[in-house]
Chains A and B, each alone.
Chain A
């Protein structure tokens, strides 16, 4: 970042130079990955929105308890983990290793809590008879299970990978193996996972609340 000037970056963003974006290569790489992953989730969410809007008798099984309460709590947990993540990145840039590790561990614990609550939510639905191919509320709309388990499953996979990624970064940063830049880039991934949930939660859960 600050080293970019010494690499001969010119004054304006458009004049090129050794590092026109003035970010490290790992950060640019992560942004490119996020772009491609955005398109993956967009394709899934848009095709879900398509079937949701074109199916007037889409099942609406989610009661306040447990589904909406749990998914709201999960949203809160994930948003809070993003907060601890940015605070961790800020601490890493200040060079405060102890605080960084603490914030990263808090983030990881929130991630684990998210997956755990989500798993109980899945178990509830599976016990009620929902699978990726069928659902007990309106068997003529089998896409409900496909959309729900497909989207939340892919997102949960991202959270799980993120937990391992952050754990590795946390360990490496503590050892002095990796720099604050690595922490910041892992933060980008984590915030992206949070961002995706900001779409999945309203579109999957809130559009299927039981209207009673």
Chain B
């Protein structure tokens, strides 16, 4: 977050301990997903929960493993919002229709 204002080339960020911690969290969230897969949850709610957890995992991977947290704000703002916007556009096209289909009485 505030690393952007720090002088570049200062590679103090990202110790082995931090990477191990992130790895542990990723494994924990994966275990939670596998556990949830065996709970009887309605599929719309289930996919929302699973994708939500996966988004958290991918944020952890991007921030720490892909080093994005320690890059300049300008780079982050170039990469993330444009990608998220494009994905949202795809979602807007698809989902109302898929939900409509599941609510058709005779389906």
Contacts and interface: CB of A to CB of B under 8 A. Distances in A.
Contacts, number: 156
Interface residues of B, number: 56
B38 A209 contact: yes
B23 A83 contact: yes
A54 B58 contact: no
Contact of B30 (A23, A39, A52, A72): A72
A43 B90 contact: yes
Nearest to B100: A54
Sort chain A's interface into a size bin: 35 or more
Interface in B88-107: 90-91, 94-95, 97-99, 101-102, 107
A53 B98 contact: yes
B82 interface: yes
- What DSSP secondary structure best describes chain A's contact surface? helix
Interface of A: 1-2, 4-5, 13-14, 20-23, 28, 31, 34-35, 38-39, 42-43, 46-47, 49-54, 56, 68, 72, 75-76, 79-80, 82-83, 85-87, 90, 93, 184, 187-188, 191-192, 194-195, 198-199, 201-203, 205-207, 209, 211
A206 B33 contact: yes
B62 A195 contact: yes
Nearest to A79: B26
